[in-house]
């Protein structure tokens, strides 16, 4: 009886199985052991994507972001990259 009830509740979610993406299992590394690389870059914005993996997805999102704003509108930021995290920090602008 419980199995029948749970299957009905899943059907009511209206999830399209063709749009589900299988994400590969990755072990989460311990942050204190991670090497962090830091980059000074310009922030282009954010773009929604269809799935969380794939260079073709990254390239398409990058093309969209590049065409959205002009270069003077891209604020400077610092990006810290580690195996478990990606952090974007706004740079402080100093006026003289």
Q: What is the pLDDT of residues 61-89, one digit of tens each?
A: 999 999 988 988 999 999 999 888 889 99
In a domain, 10, yes or no: no
**Domain enclosing residue 57, as ranges:** 32-96
Contacts by 73-78, CB closer than 8 A, 24 or more apart: 74/42, 74/43, 74/44, 75/42, 75/43, 76/40, 76/41, 76/42, 76/43, 77/40, 77/41, 77/42, 77/43, 78/38, 78/39, 78/40, 78/41
The region of weakest confidence among 11-20, 38-47, 87-96 is 11-20
pLDDT > 70 in the chain, percent: 69
Please compute the mean of the pLDDT values over residues 15-28 and round it to a whole number: 70
How many independent structural domains does the chain possess?
Answer: 1
Tell me the CATH number at 55.
2.30.29.30
Rg (CA), the chain: 20
Q: How many residues does the chain have?
A: 96
In a domain, 75, yes or no: yes
pLDDT top residue among 34 and 13: 34
In a domain, 25, yes or no: no
In a domain, 1, yes or no: no
In a domain, 26, yes or no: no
Q: Residue 9 pLDDT more than 70?
A: no
């Amino acid at each position: 009886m419980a199995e029948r009830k749970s299957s009905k509740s899943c059907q009511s979610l209206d999830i399209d199985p063709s749009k589900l993406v299988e994400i590969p299992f990755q072990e989460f590394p311990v942050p204190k052991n991670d090497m962090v690389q830091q980059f000074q870059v310009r922030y282009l914005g954010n773009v929604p994507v269809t799935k969380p993996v794939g260079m073709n997805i990254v390239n398409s999102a990058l093309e969209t972001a590049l065409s959205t704003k002009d270069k003077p509108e891209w604020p400077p930021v610092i990006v810290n990259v580690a195996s478990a995290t990606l952090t974007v920090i706004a740079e402080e602008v100093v006026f003289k």
